């Protein structure tokens, strides 16, 4: 099995996540704190440096430098750079459920118009349910798409070995989903067990749509 085929197989084995990120985040104002700021009104760009903390709705971003650009429609793109030897950080709440997504990488790119986040080099994506870690994926490049319900994890042609990922290949920790309880039969008047009628769960109990892992390798890396 060659390297790229094994990489593709590892990507397709990732379990789907069950909900979208907080839908209102993309329309919320962006707030930033940093040690310094350089703003260019003509280019509609802001460069924050030094212990940068950015919030946008439930989104939290941290890095040593964050470049923010705004287009004519008001959409914002942010490029987050980590301090040498550390990782940039991203966190957001998932819509309608008690779940949080967080990710890290040497570089993070957030695009509010495309509604996606890219984690580049030493990339990690985690999902927490009720404050407990449920899923974790590691790779060289992770793209998390809110609009298409798809996330992609790619390895590197030259794997970078770290303490958290000594093999340098795509790795995933996936929590099992709870199986629905089986219907319990009841005894009929003539003796044989009769299956209990199925009970339709209330709308609030129906699982939300799931994310679909990509089955192709991404080559548009930065």
Q: Which two tokens stand for residue 34?
A: 């940093």
Supply the pLDDT for residue 221.
Answer: 44
Q: Give per-residue pLDDT as tens, 51-100.
A: 999 998 999 999 999 999 999 888 889 999 999 999 999 999 887 788 89
Q: How many residues belong to the chain? A: 222
The CATH number, out of the four listed (2.30.30.90, 2.60.450.10, 1.10.3720.10, 2.40.10.340), of the domain defined by the range 3-175:
2.60.450.10
Supply the pLDDT for residue 6.
Answer: 33
Tell me the percentage of the chain whose pLDDT exceeds 90.
37
Ordered by start, the domain boundaries in the chain are 3-175
């Amino acid at each position: 099995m060659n390297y790229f085929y094994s990489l593709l197989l590892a990507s397709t084995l990732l379990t789907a996540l069950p909900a979208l990120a907080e839908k209102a985040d993309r329309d919320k104002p962006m707030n930033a704190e940093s040690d310094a700021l350089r703003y260019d009104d003509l280019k509609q760009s802001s460069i924050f440096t030094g212990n940068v903390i950015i919030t946008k709705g439930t989104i939290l971003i941290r890095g040593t430098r964050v470049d923010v650009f705004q287009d004519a429609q008001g959409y914002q793109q942010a490029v987050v750079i980590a301090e040498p030897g550390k990782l940039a950080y991203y966190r957001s709440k998932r819509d309608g459920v008690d779940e949080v997504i967080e990710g890290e990488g040497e570089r993070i790119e957030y695009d509010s118009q495309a509604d996606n986040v890219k984690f580049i080099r030493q990339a990690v994506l985690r999902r927490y349910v009720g404050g407990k870690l449920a899923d974790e994926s590691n790779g060289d490049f992770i793209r998390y798409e809110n609009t298409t319900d798809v996330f992609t994890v790619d390895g590197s042609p030259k794997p970078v070995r770290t303490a958290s990922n000594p093999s340098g290949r795509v790795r995933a920790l996936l929590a099992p989903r709870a199986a629905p309880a089986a219907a319990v039969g009841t005894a009929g008047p003539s003796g044989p067990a009769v299956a209990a009628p199925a009970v339709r769960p209330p709308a609030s109990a129906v699982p939300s749509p799931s994310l679909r892992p990509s089955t192709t390798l991404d080559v548009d890396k930065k």
